[in-house]
Amino acid sequence: MVDLPPGVVRTPEARFDDLPGFPFSPSYETVGGREGPGLRMHALDEGPRDGPTLLLMHGEPTWSYLYRKLVPILVEEGLRVVAPDLIGFGRSDKPVEKTAYSFERHVSWLHDFVRARDLRDVTLVTQDWGGPIGMAVLARDEARFARVVAANTMLHTAEPALAGRLAWSNHGVGQHDAQVNEGLLLWMAMSQRIEEFHASSAVQAATRTVVPQAVLDAYDAPFPDERFKAGMRQFPILIPVTRGDPGAAINRATWQRLASFERPFLTAFGDSDPGTGGWDAIFRERVPGAKGQPHTRLPDTGHFWQEDRGEEMAWRIAAFVRES
């Protein structure tokens, strides 16, 4: 019998048996614990322990399976690959109450993990929520990070200066109003209202290639029923759409630190991802370390570039680490 903290579920291990393209061994750390029992956080940890370290961060509504195409290539290139499952996702523990999840707690849980593994000289690779969470940890513990790859990610602050800059608008207007793209609002509302919320549906909808059914099933593997989906349902409504949102304050603090981040910072954004369209240009303008880097636009690539361009991006990331 597994002894779990109250109000927490853990996906049965059998759900992860024989997933296509995923032969990796699990590893775990305990995170949290300040307000009660800690939570078990899972991560892939492959490759040489003395090699340069990559921290591959997933977002909504996926897990470390997202990076399965990249891991073998990166390891072959002599890199250590660490790909955590955020709390509520993958093999990590899952509080059943949506209110257990906040932007701040996700940042704190990941920071605990990074410190527990004592990760150093880290290349942070981000996508979706992996960007705001991963870069917030960087902002709080910058000495551990050597470089960043920002790919189909964002740092929402709802500031008026973002007007006209984003494919999906999300910015303040005047003193007390906001303009938010309808697609973003629909995504936030759907996450709360839809009766059956499946990770696989979101992955296929935001990927240009046709994802095999067995792979789609693997994305659903961590979430056998509604009790396991609280984290997945909560992420969309944590997106800051007002200037006073707690998440906007976290992102402002991250931007403040990135404004002096001179280590290499690479952007690689899909050309078919409206949810993050425009953010690559903002990163390149605001982060000093982005100057002179081999930034790229990925053709015919949706939100989940790991499915559309996984192997290609693995080679780009390896070259970025080697050459910078």
For residue 219, the one-letter residue type is: Y
Read off the pLDDT of residues 266-307 as tens digits, 9 standing for 90 and up: 999 999 999 999 999 999 999 999 999 999 999 999 999 999
Predicted local confidence at residue 5, as pLDDT: 86
pLDDT at 1 over 50: no
Q: Of 128, 171, 280, 308, which is the active-site residue? A: 128
How much of the chain, in percent, has pLDDT values that exceed 90?
Answer: 97
| Helix ranges (DSSP H) in 118-212 | 130-140, 182-193, 199-205
State yes or no: is 217 an active-site residue. Answer: no
Among 93, 273, 280, 308, which one carries the catalytic annotation?
A: 273
Whether 198 is catalytic: no
* Domain spans in the chain, listed from the N-terminal domain onward: 8-323
Burial of residue 278, with CB atoms counted within 10 A of its CB: 0-12 exposed, 13-18 middle, 19 or more buried? middle
Tokens coding 282 = 């903002």
pLDDT computed for residue 57 by the predictor: 98
Closest CA relative to residue 152, chosen from 232, 206, 84, 233: 206
Query: Average pLDDT, whole number, for the chain?
Result: 97
Within 8 A by CB and 6+ apart from 60, the residues are 128, 129, 202, 232, 235, 236
In order of 55, 70, 172, the CA distances from 67 in angstroms are: 11, 5, 35
* Residue 317: predicted pLDDT: 98
128 catalytic residue (yes or no)? yes
CA–CA distance, 205 with 184 (Å, rounded to integer): 14
For 233-275, the pLDDT digits (tens) are 999 999 999 999 999 999 999 999 999 999 999 999 999 999 9
- Quick one: pLDDT band at residue 162, thresholds 50, 70, 90? very high
What's the pLDDT tens digit per position in 36-90?
Answer: 679 999 999 999 999 999 999 999 999 999 999 999 999 999 999 999 999 999 9
Answer yes or no: are the C-beta atoms of 128 and 59 closer than 8 Å: yes
| pLDDT recorded at residue 35 | 67
Please list the residues that pair with 55 across neighbouring strands. Answer: 82, 124
Distance CA 191, CA 324 (A): 40
Give the fold, CATH level 3, of 8-323. Answer: Rossmann fold (3.40.50)
Where b means 16+ CB within 10 Å and e means fewer, 148-167 reads bbbbbbbbbbbeeebeeebe
pTM above 0.75, yes or no: yes
User: pLDDT tens across 186-205, in order?
Assistant: 999 999 999 999 999 999 99
- Mean pLDDT over 197-215 rounds to 98
Q: Which of 45, 85, 303, 308 is catalytic?
A: 303
Task: Tell whether the model's pLDDT for residue 33 goes beyond 90.
Answer: no
End-to-end CA distance of the chain: 48
In the chain, pLDDT over 70 holds for what percent of residues? Answer: 99
